[in-house]
Each structure stands twice: as C-alpha cells, then as structure tokens.
Amino acid sequence: MKELKKIVISGGGTGGHIFPALAIANEIKKRFPQVEILFVGAEGKMEMEKVPAAGYKIVGLPIVGLQRKLTLKNLALPFKLLKSLSLAKNILKDFKPQVVIGVGGYASGPTLKMAQRLGIPTLIQEQNSYPGKTNRLLSKKVKAVCTAYEGLDTVFPPETIRLTGNPVREELNQTNLSREEAFAEFPVLDPTKKTILVMGGSLGARTLNEGVIYGLDQLADANTQILWQCGKYYFEAMKKEVEIRKKAAIYLTDFIARMDAAYAVADVIVSRAGALSISELCIVGKPIILVPSPNVSEDHQTKNAMALVNGQAAILIKDDVAKEQLISEAIGILNNEDKGHGLRIAIKRMAKPNATKDIVDVIEQLA
C-alpha cells in the first residue's frame, strides 16, 4: 500500500451518490492530510454545489442521461457523451490520479471509461443490491467493486468484489444519545408513548404522506404518536391536514436535522428503500417498513428492499397499497413484541458500521 497523493472521485446526481463520495473523501483526507482530491461531476447537477460546500474542488462534464420519453434532447446525447469522454481524458492526463473512484451518476461513466483506457486503477462503489447498466459495463475492466449486498458475483467479476457496505453518517456510529436527550429534540412528543418515525426524504414522498393522513385516526385510538418528516414540497398541505385532526399526537416537520435523535425515539420506522437509507437503518437496528419508490430507474428500491425482506429483516409494502396499509402495519408491529424483536435481531446482522474505512483500505491497496 502506498501513500495516497492524488485521487479522483466521479459521480453524483443525487444525495445517494454524493454522500458516499464525500464520506470516502473525508476518510482519505483524515488518513492523508496532504492528499489532493478532485471530483468530476455532471454540469448542472447537485454535486456541483454540494462538493465545493464540503471543501473539495470539482469540475463538470456536459454529460446527460437518456430521457425516457421521446424528446429532441436525446439527439444531443451522443455529442455530449463524446465531448465528456474527451474532457475526462484531458482531466485525468493533467491531474494524474493514482486511483479513480466511481460512485454512480452520469459523470462516473466517461470518467472511469477513460481512466481504464489510460491504465489508471479504477474502483466502483456500488450502493444498490442490483447495479445499473453503466456500472455493469464498467466492471469488466475495474480493479475492485465495493458492494453493500451479497450475491452480486453473477453481475460483477467475482475476483473484484469487496463486501464493504455503504458509508453512513459518522454520528450514527458514534452516538451516545440517551432516549431522554433524543426526545428533548422533539418537545411535542411524549416519551411514555410508542413512536412511529415516517421519513420520505428531504423532498418528501407523496404515498407515505397520504398513508399517514389516512391512518391518523388509528394512531389516536392506539395511543401512538408519530414523528413525521413530510418533505418541503408537502409541508404546508400536510400542516393543514394535521390541524384538522388535532386528536392525534404528531410532530410534523419538513426536514429532520438530527437524524440520530429521530432514530433514537423511534420504535418503528417507515421509509423509502434508497440504498443509503437502508444502510443507516441497518446500523440503527429498529423494526422497519419499506415502501419502495416506483419512480426509480431499474426498480432499484424494490431490489434493495427485497434483500432485507428475504433475510426477515424488514416488512415491504408496495407503493400502490401503502396508503391503506402503512399505519395499520406499523401499529401491528408495535403490538407484537415477538415480531418486533425478530426484525431488530435480523436487521442488526446486516449492518456494516466500518464501511467507509473498509472502502478506503481497498483504495490504498490499488494505489
């Protein structure tokens, strides 16, 4: 293993790609303070703001994805791809990285492809239980693939696979927060009551919100309360709904900054099935209900959820029936101690708390 001096990390588009990229960068920087880390993203995407805000340099490629609907934008795709490949080649030749890391997202394709042509070692950090087309193609010449799920040896070359898990927020591994301290973050909630945490992400999830509204009367009858992150797009509408139904105990917010506290107060958690959310929930070790989003390419979220369901570590509710079943299923878990205990034991077995460190260990081996 060599000292890491120059590393390129490429990808982004969503928080699910950007967060692990930054976690990996921070761990590299912790080990090698003098290292130069360059990010390569896609112009106009979230990473072009989030990465500089975290203190790292980023350059953008004009790469775009294929539109699902027939549109004139697709005609420009081959030209933007060729330009992105050329730019990526120049970036890599100028920067001369020891290793190039792809975390998924549009930019990782041309960047890793050109790194492989230039003979630079490449690594894929695959968050999902079933990889997308780009990573499947790139894996044929990649040196290592860091995965979060078992059973990918039929998709990736088996000799490249390292089962590391996905990076999670450091505070989840380090928290010593007591239940009392956690409840202090949400003063409306009663520490003596059972609590359901519903989280649809920072933007919100319409189906989860509809499910909560549908089940509010059941919550009141079951003497159960809810900590509800409805998302910024839905907050005003959900606030009006809550004011109409005042008998249920609800802490409504558009965004939860202290997720460690939210996890600590929860007795049951309802969530979409994004790869990073699932990795965090495995660390937390609480009973979970997963409602996969139907709006994700290649149905990644259902595949992620099934990896837990097959291990008896989660309950899955399909999006089209979640409105009617969500709250009743959560209350059912709260009322069945044996079921809740079984879910807690099974999901804790799937946790990978040292994922970020293990990924950087692999990067060091490639340098």
d(CA 152, CA 139): 12
Specify the amino acid at residue 4. L
Q: How far apart are CA 104 and CA 147, in angstroms?
A: 12
Q: Which tokens hold the place of 81?
A: 């791809």
Establish whether 15 is an annotated binding residue. yes
* Cβ contact 113:91 at 8 Å: no
Q: How far apart are CA 50 and CA 22, in angstroms?
A: 9
Please tell me the distance from the alpha carbon of residue 47 to that of residue 21, in angstroms, as a whole number. Answer: 10
Q: Which of 166, 6, 220, 181 is nearest to 98 (CA)?
A: 6
| Rg of the chain over all Cα atoms, to the nearest angstrom | 22
Q: Which residues contact 188 (CB under 8 A, 6 or more apart)?
A: 249, 250, 251
Q: In what order do the strands lie in the sheet with 57-61?
A: 57-61, 36-42, 6-10, 99-102, 122-126, 144-147, 161-163
16 annotated binding-site participant? yes
According to the annotation, is 301 in a ligand binding site?
Answer: yes
| CA nearest neighbour of 142 among 167, 162, 166 | 162
Residue 14, annotated ligand binder? yes
Residue 218 CA to residue 197 CA, distance in Å, equals 15
11 labelled as ligand-binding? no
Say which amino acid occupies 19. Answer: F
**E strand spans, 66-141:** 99-102, 122-126
Binding-site residues from annotation = 14-16, 128, 169, 202, 256, 301
Binding-site residues from annotation for UDP-N-acetyl-alpha-D-glucosamine = 14-16, 128, 169, 202, 256, 301
